Amino acid sequence: MRNLNSLKAGQQIIFSGTIYTARDQAHKRMAEAIKAKKRLPFELEGAIIYYCGPTKTPKGGIIGSCGPTTSARMDEFTPALLAQGLSAMIGKGARSKKVKDAIKKYQGVYFVTYAGCGALLSKYIKHAETIAYRDLGPEAIVKLEVKDFPLIVAIDTHGRSIYDAH
């Protein structure tokens, strides 16, 4: 994703491109791989992770329901991923101060998308391919190609957050 520095907290955008799903257990494995200096299942530099565990794909479908999950559960692992070049995350809910500081330090962005709308959000996904950790079932890493995916900037590269009191 280009021009992250131009995004402002509260701004709504439409994104088309590649994102990767990853939840708690996938984050734990990636953090362990980073610590052990092992190769990750995808290049983190410039990548976007969507905190999502899609439901079973319906017959003839691309993906099942795929709404965001609570982002705070990934807070323990997020600074290490940002340090490796992760550019953005998509989820729901507020983040810890540690994550907010890491987003600012590494010039990343945290987006939120519409919770409770997983079936609707699946309509923006044009291709889905499981690429790692198949044994985790819905928590496996899935590479998604999305078109016109709706996002709201929750924390921008300057550390401004929609969750801060005004």
The C-alpha atoms of residue 16 and residue 145 are separated, in whole angstroms, by 7
The C-alpha atoms of residue 59 and residue 61 are separated, in whole angstroms, by 5
Q: Is 27 a catalytic residue?
A: yes
> Can you give the three-state secondary structure of the chain, one letter per residue?
CCCHHHCCCCCEEEEEEEEEECCHHHHHHHHHHHHCCCCCCCCCCCCEEECCCCCCCCCCCCCCCCCCCEHHHHCCCHHHHHHCCCCEEEEECCCCHHHHHHHHHHCCEEEECCCCCHHHHHHHEEEEEEEECHHHHHHCEEEEEEEEEEEEEEECCCCCECCCCC
Active-site residue, from 27, 127, 158, 166? 27
User: Mind telling me the catalytic residues?
Assistant: 27
